[in-house]
Copies of this chain bind each other. A is one copy, B any other.
Amino acid sequence: MARSASSQPTEVELQILRILWQSGGSTAREVHNALAAAEAKETNYSTTVKMLAVMLEKGLVKRDESASPQIFSAATSQKATQRRMLGDLIDKVYDGSALSLVLQALSSRKATAGELTEVRRMLDELEKLRQPRPDHE
C-alpha cells in the first residue's frame, strides 16, 4: 500500500524533486547523473532507482511507464511544495509569525536594490487588494 506522504519530503527526496522540477521529467539514469553532479553524492545507481520507487509509492513522483526508459516527473509543483514547506517552517520555527520570517529573510541575506523594489511592488499590490474587502474570513 502506498505510504502516506504525511510529512515533508526528506533530504534526498527533495534533491530528486529539484532535479525533476528543473528538467520537467527525467529517466532514472538522468536523475542519477544529475544527483551525482549536484552533490559529491557517490551512490549506486540502484539506490537512485529505489528512491524513485519509494517516492512513487509515497505519491511524490509520477511515472510514465509507456515510455522506455520510463520517465519520472514530480507529482506536485515546486510552488505548492514551497508553500507547504514554508508554512511548516513558519509554524515550527517562527512561532507562526510570517512577518518575522520575512523580516529576517530581508535582513540576513543582503538583497539587491532591484529585489527590494520588487518587494515594494508586491506590497503595493497586497495593499491594493486589501481595500475592496476590509474584512473577510
Binding site for B on A (CB under 8 A): 7, 11, 14-15, 18, 78-79, 81-83, 85-87, 89-90, 92-95, 98-109, 111, 113, 115-116, 118-120, 122-123, 126-127, 130
Contact = CB atoms under 8 A, between A and B. Distances in A.
B98 A81 contact: no
Given A116-B126, A120-B123, A126-B111, A98 B90 contact: no
A36 to B, nearest CB: 18
A95 to B, nearest CB: 8
B105 A126 contact: no
Contact of A130 (B86, B106, B113): B113
Contact of A122 (B95, B98, B103): B103
Contacts of A18: 92-93, 95
A119 B98 CA distance: 11
A127 to B, nearest CB: 6
A130 B117 CA distance: 13
A86 B108 contact: yes
A14 B92 contact: yes
A113 B113 CA distance: 24
A38 to B, nearest CB: 11
